[in-house]
Structure 1
């Protein structure tokens, strides 16, 4: 049996701008995520099960049908692309049928936590099958496979969450310009694209100060990132300012300058608040921001619900208790380790 633990993700800075190629975001991965188990099938049939999907999925490895609309669509796309890539490159004679069990920890009794469940699924399927069949695919190849599978289903996205979950730890991610790659009608399940150089793509692992802890504030108000992005027009000035702030934040993390971290996260938050529609800052998120004071933190991701966070450089129960009093779940999260390979 093969068992892998796949992290969730939390955007720290550079949201929205990252959806434009060549811009940068800082993304953390956290140990709360998915567990995927794979066993060789006893019969000539593969079965996939999940604690978040009512119906299981039966399929034949190597002959997965082109249906990407049901609850298993992300898993279907990831398996299809990996199988085609392995076959085309003669890495493995064939992938045997397997039983897949996906256990998600990205939900709570109050609802979704908003830490990247679909991204974790495609990354997890690629990583688990890579390990189970001893494919030894490079980490960049695994990122591209997971990214293309996710893009094929979702039709848009920066792939920043895919990169973070693939690489682990804290990353600075510069989004690629995939419009420069040859493709047909955005059919991204093309294994040939994996081996191409992706213009503007850059993924850098960042050191994280040992005494900085991330306090997650989950509102359990689900946000639709795709809708939020589609209704937002980003100006060249916004993109330029975001890029400058994020680059300064990268240096701040490397230099372990907490005071500057607070200032630059606040600047990124102000930039986002001034650019985005009023609904971006929900009442719960507005409360979270007003309680930060001199503590580093901001809204994470698309806004319109989901999460905010604070970065603590000393023990502080007051902030967590204050958030809880307003119906915001507060918990210190553990950063997942960086992955190699």
Structure 2
């Protein structure tokens, strides 16, 4: 039996700009996971069991290069699992390795006890955990970059709006600088080339770089209890691209401040980190002023105000519109003060740590 886990993520800076190739963001992996467990079976078909979706075990068979599951009603809910298997096995076939029957189980602690999502990138973690488990199962010893690219290919077959930063940090873990690739180029490669060929090529615009955080710096995470629709919010920002003055100014400002943040990390300059986080919040607020939906909701404004009250640097995390906000502090001195005041204002402290891999 093989187990592989993939962590959830949070954006620290560069949200929305990261949807454009070449524009940098900073993310963290958190110590909450999707876990894939895989084992051999002697039967003529395999099975998939998603505990995360509270679904019963379903069997699957292979028809050409597709995974066909026995319960049609569950097919949509299990699409990230089946798509990851399909893409991985296309790569396995290219290496003339015999496919094997297996049972795979998916479990998750990325949501709260009631099943509400924290906004930690569960779809990305599902893809990555399944691919990591299959990598071990087939003894492929693929690099992190290949696992990332396989997950992206699977993701792009299912949706097109994601920057795939959540996939990158789920693979590489820790603190990460990320800028996305040329999506149209990769889409074309997926259509015209084999999976093996797509993995080998350099992807234009892609940048993945681990970061080391300044000493004693802490990231505090608060959850508003209101799930956000990233798809809807990203679509709204896409609408703003029709005005190149607004969106162009936003992109330039975001890149400038994210570059300053990265430099502050590399020089162990915590005051520079705090300043850049506050500036990045202002950049998001600039975009928010032109949007028809709230990026920084009233609850997120409250979360940020409390963090700033206790000398932290605060902002929304990810698409905003709900979900999580963050406060970065220089040390632990005010952590409990912030947590206590968040709790009094119906903001749930998520006492997660940054996950730096196994």
TM-score bin (small chain):
over 0.9
Distance 1:94 1:213 in 2: 47
- Residue 152 (structure 1) aligns with: 157
- C-alpha distance in 1 between matches for 2:156 and 2:192: 7
Task: Trace 1:17-96 onto structure 2 (pairs within 5 A).
Answer: 17-53=17-53, 54-60=55-61, 63-65=66-68, 70-90=76-96, 93-96=97-100
Q: Secondary structure at the match of 2:188?
A: coil
For residues 12-31 of structure 1, what are the alpha-carbon distances to aligned partners after superposition, in whole Å with 9 as ceiling and x for unaligned?
00000000111110010011
| Residue 102 (structure 2) pairs with residue 98 (structure 1) | yes
Alpha-carbon displacement from aligned partner over 1:217-236 (angstroms, at most 9, x marks no partner)? 01121111111111112411
**Alpha-carbon distance in 1 for matches of 2:103, 2:323:** 33
Shift of 1:157: 1.0
Q: Contact 2:46–2:60 (CA<8 Å) still a contact in 1?
A: yes
1:280 aligns with 2:295: yes
Q: Once the two structures are superposed, what CA deviation does each residue of 1:176-235 show, in whole Å capped at 9, x if it has no partner?
A: 112134628x75995132222100111001112342222110112111111111111241
Q: Which runs of 4+ in 1 moved over 4 A?
A: 66-69, 186-190
| Residue 131 in structure 1 maps to residue 136 in structure 2 | yes
Task: Please give the alpha-carbon distance, in whole angstroms, between the structure 2 residues aligned to 1:290 and 1:270.
Answer: 13
Given the alignment, which residue of 240, 244, 248 partners 1:236?
A: 248
Q: Does 1:313 align with 2:324?
A: no
Deviates more, 1:49-58 or 1:60-69: 60-69
- CA RMSD, Structure 1 to Structure 2 (Å): 2.1
SS of 1:262's equivalent in the other structure is helix
Equivalents in 2 of 1:284, 1:63: separation in Å?
44
Q: Structure 2 CA distance, aligned partners of 1:206 and 1:318?
A: 28
Cα pair 1:123 1:162 within 8 Å, conserved: yes
Give the number of equivalent residue pairs: 336
Between 80-89 and 7-16, the greater mean CA deviation after superposition: 80-89
**Bigger CA drift: 269-278 or 124-133?**
269-278
Q: Is the 8 A contact 1:223 1:305 kept in 2?
A: yes
